[in-house]
Amino acid sequence: MKNIQKKVSFIEICLLIFNICFIFFITGLDARLKNIIVILFLIIIFILSVYLLSYKKDNNFDRERAIKIELAIFIGFLFIYFLLGLFVGFSKTSFSISFNEMLNGVIPNFLILLLTELIRYVLFKSIYKSKKNIIIITILLIILNISLEFKLNYLNNHLLLFVYITTIVFPVIANELLCSYSTYNFGLLPTIIYKSVIKLYIYIIPIFPNLTDYLYSVFNIIIPFISYISFRKYIVKVDRLTRNTGRDKVYRIGIMTIPIMVFTIVITALVSGLFSYQLIAIASGSMEPTYTKGDALLLYKDSPDNIEVGDILVYKDGKKIVAHRVIKKTEYKNNLYFYTKGDANNAPDDGYIEKENVIGRGINIVKYIGYPTVWLNEFFRKE
């Protein structure tokens, strides 16, 4: 056992050294060259792992059930994903334009994920009872997958770094944790199928909904979360039943999962502004005491024709979103013009707001929940 531990530790050190070299020396290279280097390294690590630890056949008893659970979750995800497209529209993927471009995207990504999961499987099979090594290997694979999407200029731009963390880092962590859990409990095949679908469907499907990066990353966190809950509940049921009863129990997601899913979807839809209602954070005190800095305003994307004097008008002012009260509304040559003022301000706002810049009408206040957004915006302005 100690001999196996030393061999696994050696492979872990190799992964750590490569991660460090990748971040400092390979990150800035061309994407194609970068992929080639990663693939060659993973091939070497896989061959080394098999040579030192041997390859054990994947004959996990539960893998077929795990695959069925995954497929059910993906079907539900794709249904919701493309249902949203009916509201926000669809776009072609860049990979649907050229067959060569599609292959350049699919093949390197598939080889990287395949080799990564083969290495994970070989190592996990060798140190099945060592949770410490399982955690170390998972962390190293997380770092590797995060590094693949990292660019050095992110360090000089707080906004790009924030987008990278929310759209790349968090989803990668969620998916790699699930892959380790899946490999540990169900073997190699379910993990490869899961990761292939989650990483490659965007390359294969010719159209996709016009969702924000934020909403896309939320999906990539929710899916592994639901998968984990599903796998966990199945394992608990198996622990309670003997495997040889011959009875095929119907799997159902626990009732507590449903409100969590609904809450997450509703909040995401509100923040992203997908539908008629949207939540925006209040970043100033210009409307006190009606609402204060750190509150969130729920707006309705009403027609400008329905907005009257006294209503809270939400509109675009360059890159900013402003929510002030309408003090005057005029019509000139079939065009509407709004004049606004903050309740706490001594003077009206400069100029007027045209119909094209109107987002909607403020209808309700949610206290305090806008503070995280306000703090982030203030942090970016310090750059």
Q: Which residues are tagged catalytic?
A: 286, 324, 349
Q: How many CA atoms lie within 13 A of 65 on its CB side?
A: 19
Instruction: List the strands of the sheet with 320-332, edge to edge.
Output: 277-281, 296-300, 358-366, 312-317, 320-332, 335-341, 353-354
Residue among 143, 114, 133 at smallest CA distance from 184: 133
152 close to 79: Cβ distance less than 8 angstroms: no
Q: Which amino acid is present at 330?
A: T
E-strand spans in 84-242? Answer: 90-92, 207-209
| Residues forming beta bridges with residue 328, ordered by sequence position | 339
Q: Which amino acid is present at 316?
A: K
Residue among 355, 331, 351 at smallest CA distance from 339: 351
137 close to 124: Cβ distance less than 8 angstroms: yes
| Residues forming beta bridges with residue 365, ordered by sequence position | 297
Residue among 94, 114, 91, 113 at smallest CA distance from 102: 94
E-strand spans in 162-250? Answer: 207-209
Q: Which amino acid is present at 372?
A: P
Residue among 24, 249, 46, 9 at smallest CA distance from 143: 24
β-bridge pairing 207-209 and 90-92: antiparallel
